[in-house]
């Protein structure tokens, strides 16, 4: 019996926020699936270079330093990835910030609100705009093959809200709406657009909260599986959505949260 493969041989992927956490595991999985991968980082240069070398180095995996807080910076990153690999088949929008300190809406400063929207949403517009333009310029795929894949990473916060983190929740909810809008617009052109919505994941961004004895225990109690996810458990569904096995999925919000939020 033939084996089933989650292969991305011959594809080029751009993964934002790829130097750590979910992004780094996604870079590893996509590389293992045969894709050539460009990924962005902001400050962790040494970590990014180590990851790029681990995943094949020159010709196979490229670490690109890029601030992502404006549409122009999003477009610049896409252009840099195309300059390295000559094409683009997959965009995974994984970068983002989550200000960890609880902030009541009555006290939230405009600077925090604006910064969160700049990074988590405004830059995404530029990334998507430039990626779609490139995917449409490339030669049309064979029959029933995708012309491109876009996966936006949202959050349970974007589905049910998050008290004291309204800025973050707003951006993640917007990505869900963007997923559905883009799918409606691009599916007939062969570009699949989907969303992965993780719950709590064991990453550096959430480490302080998860590691707090009281908060960590409360978080785990509210997850039916009784634990938080590993980054690889989020990267796996992202990879799946970019393979032919997911060829009839577009506009979907894939919940990866241990059963804690059950919404479509």
Q: Which residues are catalytic?
A: 168
- Cβ–Cβ under 8 Å, residues 90 and 35: yes
Q: Is the dihedral of CA 66, 67, 68, 74 positive or negative?
A: negative
Bridge-based pairing state of the strands 36-41 and 148-153: unpaired
3-state class (DSSP) for residue 29: helix
Dmax (CA) for the chain in angstroms is: 62
Dihedral sign, CA of 93, 85, 133, 241? negative
CA distance 24 to 214: 29
Structure tokens at 108: 């939230």
């Amino acid at each position: 019996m033939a084996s089933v493969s989650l292969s991305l041989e011959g594809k080029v992927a751009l993964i934002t926020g790829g130097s750590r956490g979910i992004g780094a595991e996604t870079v590893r999985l996509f590389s293992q699936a045969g894709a050539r991968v460009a990924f962005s980082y902001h400050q962790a240069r040494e970590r990014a270079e180590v990851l790029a070398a681990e995943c094949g180095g020159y010709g196979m995996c490229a670490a690109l330093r890029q601030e992502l807080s404006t549409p122009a910076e999003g477009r610049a990153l896409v252009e840099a990835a195309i300059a390295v690999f000559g094409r683009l088949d997959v965009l995974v929008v994984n970068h983002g910030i989550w200000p960890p300190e609880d902030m009541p809406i009555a006290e939230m400063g405009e600077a925090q609100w604006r910064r969160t929207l700049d990074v988590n949403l405004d830059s995404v517009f530029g990334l998507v705009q430039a990626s779609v333009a490139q995917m449409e310029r490339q030669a049309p795929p064979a029959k029933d093959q995708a012309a491109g894949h876009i996966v936006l990473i949202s959050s349970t916060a974007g589905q049910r809200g998050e008290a004291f983190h309204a800025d973050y929740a707003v951006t993640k909810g917007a990505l869900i709406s963007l997923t559905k809008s883009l799918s409606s617009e691009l599916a007939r052109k062969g570009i699949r657009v989907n969303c992965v919505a993780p719950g709590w994941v064991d990453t550096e961004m959430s480490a302080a909260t998860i590691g707090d004895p009281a908060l960590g225990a409360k978080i785990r109690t509210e997850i039916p599986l009784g634990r938080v996810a590993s980054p690889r458990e989020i990267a796996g569904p992202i990879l799946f959505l970019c393979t032919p096995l997911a060829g009839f999925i577009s506009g979907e919000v894939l919940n990866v949260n241990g059963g804690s939020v059950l919404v479509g």
